[in-house]
Amino acid sequence: MELRPTDALLIIDMQSDFLPGGPLAVAEGDVIIPGINALAQRFEHVILTQDWHPAGHISFASSHTGKQPFTDTVQAAYGTQTLWPDHCLQGTRGAELHPDLNIPHAEMILRKGFRRDIDSYSAFLENDKITGTGLAGYLRERKLNRLFFAGLAYDFCVGFSAIDGAKLGFESFVVEDLSRAVALPGTIENTNACFVSEGIQRISSASIAS
C-alpha cells in the first residue's frame, strides 16, 4: 500500500512503564521499538501518545483497598474499570517516552488519562465514552484522514484508539507486527472482533511501500 500526504501514524504509549522492567510491562514491548522508529521515518505526520496519570488515579489498584491489579475491577461512574499497577505517574521517569524511541519529527504528543476519576485507553475518547481528548478535532483541522496505529498495548490503548478513530470516520489501520498485547483473558479476541465490525484492517509494516 502507498502512503499519502494526508496519512498520520499514531504511536501509542511507548513509555518505559509499559516496557520490560516496568510495572505494567507488555511482553516484547521493547522488540517493536526499532521497527516503530523505521516506520515513522516513512510518515510525514507522526503523533505520539503518553498515558499520564495523577496520583490516586481510579485505574490504580492501589487507590482501592483490598483490590488486586489485572484481575480486579471497580465500578466507576461510567461502568466497569479494570485495575492496574501504578503506572505512568505524571512527571516520573516511567511515564517518559522510552529513550530508544527516536522520532524527532513527531508533530504532537497527546497526553491522556490525566483526570483522576476517568481512565482513558483511547486517544480520542476517555473511558466514559463522552469526554473527548481533542484529537479528532486536531486531525480534522489538519486534514489528516487516514490513520495507522502502532505501539502498546494492542488489546487496550492501541485497540481502543483504532476503534474510536474508525467510529469517528477516520480510515484506520493497525500495524500488527509493531504492537504487542497485555493479553488478559479474552482481550485480544475481543479486540480483533471489534476491528472486524469497525472495518479496521490489520496490516504488516512490510505491506507499507517505502
Residues that bind ligand VGL (CB under 6 A): 13, 18, 51, 59, 84, 121, 152-153, 156-157
The one catalytic residue among 13, 86, 119, 164: 13
Active-site position among 7, 88, 112, 119: 112
Shortest Å distance, C-beta 13 to ligand VGL: 4
**157 is a catalytic site residue:** yes
HEC letters along the chain: CCCCCCEEEEEECCEHHHCCCCCCCCCCHHHHHHHHHHHHHCCCCEEEEEECECCCCCCEHHHCCCCCCCCCEEEECCEEEECECCCCECCCHHHCECCCCCCCCCCEEEEECCCCCCCCCCCCECCCCCCECCHHHHHHHCCCCEEEEEEECHHHHHHHHHHHHHHCCCEEEEEEEEEECCCCCCHHHHHHHHHHHHCCEEECHHHCCC
Near Zn ion by CB under 5 A: residue from 51, 126, 155, 176? 51
> Cβ of residue 166: shortest distance to ligand VGL, in angstroms?
17
Closer residue to ligand VGL (CB): 123 or 139? 123
The catalytically annotated residue of 86, 119, 157, 164 is 157
* 128 among known catalytic residues: no
Is position 17 an interface residue for Zn ion (rule: CB under 5 A)?
Answer: no
Smallest separation (angstroms) from ligand VGL to the CB of 105: 23
Grid cell locating 34? 526499532
Whole-number minimum distance, CB 19 to ligand VGL, in Å?
A: 11
112 is catalytic: yes
Catalytic positions are 13, 112, 157
Enumerate binding residues for Zn ion (CB under 5 A): 51
